[in-house]
Chains A and B, each alone.
Chain A
Amino acid sequence: MPDTVWKKCVVVAGLAVFLLSFPLLVRDAFLLRLFTEALMWIGLAITWDLIAGYIGYLNFGHGVFFGFGAYTTTILFTKANLPFALSLAIGGGVAALAALIIGWPVLRLRGAYFAIATWAFGRAIMQLALVLDVTGGPDGMRLPPFLNPHFFAYVMLALVGATYIVLWVLLERAPFGLKLKAIREDESGSLAIGLNPAKLKLQALVLSAAPAGLIGGVYAYWITFIDPSSVFGDLVTDQAVVMAVFGGLGTLIGPAIGAVFFLTFKTYFWAYLSDFQVLYLIILGVAIAACVVFLPDGIWGAVTRRQEGRRALRKGLSLNQRAAAPPAHPSAAGTSVRPSVRPRDGEEE
């Protein structure tokens, strides 16, 4: 169908032209800020979705990587006087390293256990940032202001654009994406076809953490102030979660759409209803619940009739009870004692 390929090319080219020219054409600082922030959330939502939508692991500590990037970049930039680009690169590296260290134990857990463990890790690291001297504790850290919104718009565009393209190639074109989906569909079955889920999950987590760290570093320099709650707080993860789930898990375009939609909503809500900011958090919570119940495939899933979203959620929330019924192996004598299929790094629930 060369017709649809051609259409896709036009859409992609049009989008690229729009994204590249938007910061040049727009004089309004508010709109430019919205543009940069939208890109940032697209980056956070798609990197969260890499773990949630493609493998079915709900990482409630994704903000940790963002925070690691932000703090590492800030500390190296302001205290060690390294150039910003180098500080940023190291920030991304530290986030990737954190993923390796956190992922190694935590990725052995499944379903809600994984969600709880990652959330707890996030909390622990936020507390650490609150008590350490090098992070400035609860006072946070200031960066020298570099008041060039166009610079940040383009840096964020380059960073998130590159992340999107790399993830698209790896997940939608290369074998990597299909391997991850196989793990999502049946982790123990994936062992039999030569996949090593422990290794693949760790690779994916590192791949999800590094861009989140880089985005954190750029965010810090852009906003010029960070503190534990703004970069390690639950809100970073939670908003990425809502955006990804609302947009559609297991795709890249879905979370991107969700990010733009939610950020626009949030910005106008805060701008016009600033007295009701608490209400925003309530709406956020209700939105997560409502999406899971009524729109498990997200808007993109509903439009394209892809059901990957609900499959990811089912696994992530341990709702896939198929393999949990133990006496299902009539010919295995051991089943009444323990299920006989027990791979080392965990069974399907």
Chain B
Amino acid sequence: MAEPILRLENVSKAFGGLKAVNQVSFDVSEGEIVGLIGPNGAGKTTVFNLISGYDPPTEGSISFNGCEISGRKPYELAAVGIGRTFQIVKPFAGLSVLDNVTVASYLRYPAQRDARRKAREVLEFIGMGDRADMPAAGLTLAGRKRLEIGKALALEPKLILLDEVVAGLNPTEADQTVQLILSIRKSGVTTLIVEHIMRVIMGISHRVVVLNYGSLIAQGAPEEVARNPQVIEAYLGESK
């Protein structure tokens, strides 16, 4: 296995007295798709916020490509190569689809013309080339989630964090998004994905990391994790 691109070591995050994330350690290797799962309130989105710089960890260390990144700002991390989407999508609703992606493209392509070209490329890649001039507010939920992925891809990230990009989509849309995630991985971007839909996460992840009440309870290949009694207990309750 390659050198880990992302490494979390004993990372904790406390909100007041509540430990949302507790002593979590895991690695993500280059080129992998790693699924981050857990019941509601397990701390998955908090882990994303820690990795992407939206929240500084209370303790522990997060390193990306061997460099310590905990406590750095989201825009610095975007420049380093971490792209993310939001569970609650954050499109720039008043701007067109093309402008949404263009403004993200400025990070790598500061000139207007280059940024536009990059944005059109990304829109073609995510299959939204025909909706470039639509206002983002007019998109369906599936469209908005896809646009989120497009904005993150325009940053040309080495690692992309996808927060529930499939949840809430109908089966056809979900399949399209799964195909998109697979093609992102094929283009060499490492992916860390939070998802509730087990069919999706078990189908595409190389490895799965399971959180429960902020603690890591299991990690490994999807089929191993699915048989892990602790994981079953976390999802279904104790068996008598």
Contact = CB atoms under 8 A, between A and B. Distances in A.
Nearest to B110: A175
Contacts of A330: 40-41
B42 A333 contact: yes
A334 B87 CA distance: 15
Contacts of B86: 189, 192, 341
Nearest to A191: B74
Nearest to A182: B103
A173 interface: yes
A83 interface: no
Interface string B31-72: 000000010111111100100111100000000000000000
Interface in B103-160: 103-104, 106-107, 110-112, 115, 151-152, 154-155
B106 A179 contact: yes
A190 B88 CA distance: 14
A193 interface: yes
B92 A182 contact: yes
Contacts of B43: 331-334
A194 B153 CA distance: 12
Interface in A311-339: 311, 323, 328-334, 337-338
Contact of B46 (A178, A190, A195, A333): A333
Nearest to A312: B94
Contact of A333 (B41, B84, B196): B41
Interface string B167-179: 0000000000000
A330 B196 CA distance: 11
Contacts of A178: 95, 99, 102-103, 106
Interface string B77-95: 0110001101110111111
B49 A189 contact: no
B16 interface: yes
B141 to A, nearest CB: 14
B13 interface: yes
A143 to B, nearest CB: 43
Contacts, number: 144
A106 B43 CA distance: 34
B73 interface: yes
Given A333-B43, A334-B13, A328 B88 contact: yes
Contacts of A341: 49, 54-55, 86
B103 A337 contact: no
B104 A340 contact: no
A179 B49 CA distance: 22
A349 interface: no
B161 to A, nearest CB: 9
Interface in A181-201: 181-182, 184-186, 188-196
Contacts of B201: none
Contacts of B73: 191, 196, 343-344
Contacts of B15: 333-334, 337-338, 340
Given A333-B41, A334-B15, A337-B18, A189 B79 contact: no
A175 B112 contact: yes
Contact of B112 (A173, A188, A323): A173
Interface residues of A, number: 37
Contact of A334 (B20, B92, B104, B152): B20
Nearest to B36: A331
A340 B55 contact: yes
- Looking at A184, A195, A334, A344, the one whose CB has the most chain B CB atoms below 10 A away is A334
Contact of A193 (B18, B88, B151, B194): B151
B75 interface: yes
Contacts of A181: 92, 94-95, 99, 103
B155 A333 contact: no
Contacts of B45: 329, 331-332, 340
A333 B106 contact: no
Contact of A311 (B49, B87, B94): B94
A35 B155 CA distance: 47
Among A192, A323, A330, the one with the most B-chain Cβ atoms within 10 Å of its Cβ is A192
Contact of A175 (B18, B115, B152): B115
B167 to A, nearest CB: 10
A212 B101 CA distance: 33
B214 interface: yes
A334 to B, nearest CB: 4
A188 to B, nearest CB: 7
B44 A185 contact: no
A300 to B, nearest CB: 15
Contacts of A189: 86, 90-92
Contacts of A7: none
A147 interface: no
Interface in A101-122: none
A27 interface: no
Nearest to B88: A328
A173 B102 CA distance: 13
Contact of A332 (B46, B52, B78, B213): B46
A78 interface: no
A205 B154 CA distance: 28
9 contacts: A175-B110, A181-B94, A185-B94, A192-B52, A192-B151, A193-B75, A333-B18, A333-B214, A334-B15
